[in-house]
A = this chain, B = another copy of it.
Amino acid sequence: MGLKEVIEEANRKAFNRLNEASSYWVDIDIAYRVIEGFKDYMLLHAGPPITWDRASGPLRGALIGATIYEGWAEKPGDAEKLLRRGEVLLEPTHKHGIVAPMAGVVSPSMPLMIFYDRVYGNRSYTNLNEGLGKVLRYGAYSRDVIDRLVWLREKVYPVLKAVIDDVKSDNREGLDFKNIIMQALHMGDECHNRNIASNTLFLREITPYLVRAGVDKSDVLEVYRFIAGNITFTLNMSMATAKLLTLAAHNIEYSTIVTVISRNGTEVGIWVSGLGDEWITAPAPTPKGVFFPGYSQEDANPDIGDSSITETAGFGGFAMASAPAIVNYIGGSVDYLVEANKMMYEITYGENKYFTIPYLGFRGTPTGIDIRLVLKKGLVPVINTGIAHREPGIGQVGAGIVELPLDLFKKALRRYAEKYGL
């Protein structure tokens, strides 16, 4: 078998696993209890590894906030000192199978939702989504931001724990979230920046358990209203699902399929299946989009967050034609996003068997980015994304679209040639 055939077989395997992996929400627990070696004075962040001195504004803001949330410092200035002196160990979320949007800062006492792939036996994790606006993941760290994080742990976590325990007592191996994504793609979501269908479908699934789980009624109402009012709540769950799908396709010798795309606000990094957990990085591009009143392109931080795992798994920006109403949020025209979506077929291994786009005659979404095709066509993946302010402490200022740098894929192919001695 020639090299070409070896690669083709490896990619076929990666693509099939990317399709066939499943994703069930199975539990929720506190991070230090489920992530091995997650100790005090350690924080996780989205994207490739980074140190404080190179971290962008929103990541710094989120690290400050998490340091206060954990009680390692009381004031932002003190938190910053700790962080600057390197007294808090920083590691990437992906190193631990976690995905978290934007700054993606996860600290030991935050709750994590746990997802399980029955087919390939993998686990992934995600944090609880705080809502829109002034939130930790966009770099805000004021008192109300910290209070909301505490409330997520003290109020939302126990209710969701009761729900998932009750789901499992019902002879079910958790809640099938891949199925929710499949449906939501027929209901105007692309499950990255538009999540209203997945949110309502998720609520429909959990409501019977919320009702009967024996939780205090006022707590049930409080948590229900929070999730119903936070249309990004299920983004994290879609990301954890995407992580399971891509994890199944990861670490296949000779495969040129991308299995992680993630950004830390300074650099964008990718994993390639055949290169294992090695980060290939390039400077993070700055997204273009629609800004909230009072903000403009100049305020935009370079791209940040693990949420581009959705595009890596074949939805989000790769399913935009399912979600025409998203132009209200990320800008652009419906025709543009349909065309941009179609272009992605040029750089992917195949069409998804489970994620389909009604408007394209139920064509499967473009799935499995092949670094060779990106370079051959000179066409880079498009990512839908939220936009953080470049200064710490401010938060979200808009949403838009970003194109990854071609250089990233050139570097990846060089590393690939090196590793396989080509």
**Chain A residues packing against B (C-beta within 8 Å):** 183, 186-189, 196-197, 200-201, 203-204, 207-208, 210-212, 217, 220-221, 224-225, 228, 324-325, 327, 333-335, 358-362
Contact = CB atoms under 8 A, between A and B. Distances in A.
Contacts of A204: 200, 203-204, 228
A334 to B, nearest CB: 5
Contacts of A327: 358
Given A200-B201, A201-B200, A204-B200, A325 B358 contact: yes
A196 B187 CA distance: 8
A208 B221 contact: yes
A384 to B, nearest CB: 15
Nearest to A200: B200
A177 to B, nearest CB: 15
Contact of A359 (B200, B221, B334): B334
Contact of A224 (B189, B208, B359): B208
Contacts of A208: 221, 224-225, 228
A34 to B, nearest CB: 30
A225 B211 CA distance: 12
Given A187-B189, A204-B204, A210-B211, 20 more contacts: A186-B188, A187-B196, A187-B325, A188-B188, A188-B358, A197-B197, A200-B201, A200-B203, A200-B204, A203-B204, A207-B228, A208-B221, A208-B225, A211-B217, A211-B221, A212-B217, A325-B358, A334-B358, A334-B359, A335-B361
24 contacts: A186-B325, A187-B187, A187-B188, A187-B189, A187-B196, A187-B197, A188-B188, A188-B197, A188-B358, A197-B200, A200-B200, A200-B203, A203-B203, A203-B204, A207-B207, A207-B228, A208-B221, A211-B211, A211-B217, A211-B220, A325-B358, A333-B361, A334-B359, A334-B361
A327 B356 CA distance: 14
Given A333-B361, A358-B188, A359-B359, A224 B211 contact: yes
Given A188-B188, A325-B186, A361-B334, A212 B201 contact: no
Nearest to A206: B207
A228 B361 CA distance: 27
Contacts of A187: 187-189, 196-197, 325
A176 to B, nearest CB: 15
A221 B210 contact: no
